[in-house]
Chains A and B, each alone.
Chain A
Amino acid sequence: DAKTTQPTSMDCAEGRAANLPCNHSTISGNEYVYWYRQIHSQGPQYIIHGLKNNETNEMASLIITEDRKSSTLILPHATLRDTAVYYCIVRVVSGGATNKLIFGTGTLLAVQP
């Protein structure tokens, strides 16, 4: 699976958009980009995933560059409850053992009041 690079930490003002970058310059054509987050003392929470098109759901938007070498997770109106570690993961999707999620150390997003 391709490796990802994320900033160690970021700050964001409450009510503003939080834009979390992720670099995955060695991504392969059959690898998807997944985002999870982990609030303190909780298990990770699935947020969103995509292959090459931009995706949006009730939690966030995922913008993947045309060359797929980087992506940005956007939380449109950050709240204090969005303070968490955000993990960007790329992985091959298939029906077998290659489904493995490999977590890095992620980005600690601190939403400030």
Chain B
Amino acid sequence: EAGVAQSPRYKIIEKRQSVAFWCNPISGHATLYWYQQILGQGPKLLIQFQNNGVVDDSQLPKDRFSAERLKGVDSTLKIQPAKLEDSAVYLCASSLDPGLAGQYFGPGTRLLVL
């Protein structure tokens, strides 16, 4: 079975620019997550979708970050405008349901903000 796909794999932008990341979850997975992982730390959940509805976005910096999951499949995460501290790996994960099932992660997008 195909895994979680993410693009781009790498992105370099200057501060105050905008950037968008794309995620395609495993087919049939209703729950989708976006995580931010700063170097040397574990991943931190930014937002969780159940189908196309937001379940948890308490850690999402809503003044600059936005995410959507139209049609309950693919998702995009946007940062506008980017700050230096947004440099991190952005990981997308999906799971069959929000219960016991494990989460399956994509390879991540490595963002560098200069």
- Measured CB to CB, the residues of A under 8 A from B are 32, 34, 36, 41-46, 49, 87, 93-97, 99-106
Q: Which residues of A contact B91 (CB under 8 A)?
A: 43-44
Return the CB mask of B21-62 against A: 1 if under 8 Å, else 0.
000000000010000000011111100100000011000000
Q: Which residues of A contact B108 (CB under 8 A)?
A: 42-43
What is the interface of chain A mostly: helix, strand, loop, or mixed? loop
Q: Which residues of A contact B31 (CB under 8 A)?
A: 99
Write the chain A residue with the least CB distance to B42: A103
Given known A-B contacts A43-B107, A103-B43, A34 and B102 have beta carbons under 8 A apart: yes
Q: Can you list 22 A-B contacts (CB < 8 A)?
A: A34-B102, A36-B102, A43-B107, A43-B108, A44-B91, A44-B103, A46-B104, A49-B102, A93-B100, A95-B97, A95-B99, A96-B98, A97-B48, A97-B56, A100-B45, A100-B56, A101-B43, A103-B42, A103-B43, A104-B42, A105-B41, A106-B42
* In contact, A44 and B43 (Cβ under 8 angstroms): yes
Write the chain A residue with the least CB distance to B91: A43
Of A43, A100, A105, the residue contacting B105 (CB under 8 A) is A43
Counting chain B residues whose Cβ lies within 8 A of the other chain, the interface size class is 20 to 34
Give the number of residue pairs across the A-B interface with Cβ within 8 Å: 58
- Measured CB to CB, the residues of B under 8 A from A are 4, 31, 40-45, 48, 55-56, 91, 93, 97-100, 102-108
What is the interface of chain B mostly: helix, strand, loop, or mixed? loop
Write the chain B residue with the least CB distance to A35: B102
* In contact, B4 and A43 (Cβ under 8 angstroms): yes
Instruction: Kindly provide the distance from the CB of A79 to the nearest chain B CB, expressed in whole angstroms.
Output: 21
Q: Which of A44, A93, A102 counts the most chain B CB atoms within 10 A?
A: A44
* In contact, A101 and B100 (Cβ under 8 angstroms): no
Q: Which residues of A contact B102 (CB under 8 A)?
A: 34, 36, 46, 49
